[in-house]
Structure 1
Amino acid sequence: MVIDGLEVPDDGTEPADRAGDLLQRVAEGDQGAFARLYDLLSARVFGLILRVLVDRSQSEEVLQEVFLEIWQSAARFTPNRGQGRSWVFTIAHRRAVDRVRSSQASSDRDVRVGFRDLDVAHDGVAEQVELKIEGEKVQTALSALPEVQREALTLAYFGGYSQSEIAALVGAPLGTVKTRMRDGLSRLRIEMGVTT
């Protein structure tokens, strides 16, 4: 059966990846699919952004940027590499973190200018390099995980979902999701070289 232009199983359940189906239609320029995607995900995306930024007005701006990017780059979504929802949350998290970094860089510049005015030497380059290297290590370690473990961890830590919500989203039993997360975290520690 077809509902809202999407193939829905006759048993009444939703398609395995409704967001992914909508993204594929958005890539073709379907404005109605974009509106449905916004209705489906905007509240959760806003919640994720707000958790990262804390500031509501900045979070609203970033939400607009995220959906603009989705409209412009939906063709880059590859269904066989993960769920549409995860792809959207990854964009949202990246945009929110970029906004935090931009704000921090602006603040750091102000501090450096203040220190320069006070004739005090300050060099934050080493700290910035260290943070960048650590972020790259985490991205590399996450990409080494199997897709199911990476998806569960991404939804939990970047999407803010509980294990029960993740189980419902990915269509897996709660015990399976818990195992994926436990194994993913264990493997992530190994990839990151954490010995404790």
Structure 2
Amino acid sequence: MFVRSLNNESQLLRKIAEGDQHAFKIIYDYHRRAVYARAIFLLKSEVLAEEVLQEVMLKLWQSAGKLTDETNLGAYLTTLTRNRSFQILRRRVLEAKTEIELRKDWTESHNETEEGILLADTQKILADGIALLPPQQKMVYELCRVDGLKYEQAAQCMNLSVETVKSYMKLALRSLRSYMKSHTDLAVILIILKII
């Protein structure tokens, strides 16, 4: 899935290596559809394809200075997209195998109705705790834990540094753990550890 290259691609890559965001936007806008289409073809998931697009473009931003004038950027991005998509697919296969193995080993009897009620109550308490977080911490928590964004992506969305996002996440998790401990008993805390 090669796309024709821009006339001034080498020049834009040099500018990106110097930190020129406008040059990066030109290349991003030019290649984003091809990268996204390739990822969605391989992964069959819009969410995962968007994740791959962001990671591939982040890699381009970081490695622009290492690319030579002879680099076929379309081919380079296709290779990055394919490799990252395959990594995700391998991870999903491994997770599925692990889950199957865990289910085989889990012979403990349990009451699904009672656990369902307990889980619903726990999720309600967690939602209450999230609602009490300061706005920045709440937004970071929701972007990273609910929407599944990486810290770098959340930082970009919020126009913050990655370190600031990590700091907000630590504070949010500390607050939520404290809130949950004061509003639940020990059995519920074990379930919470899987949620938070």
TM-score, L = length of structure 2: 0.48
Q: Which has the larger radius of gyration?
A: 2
> Higher helix share goes to which structure?
2
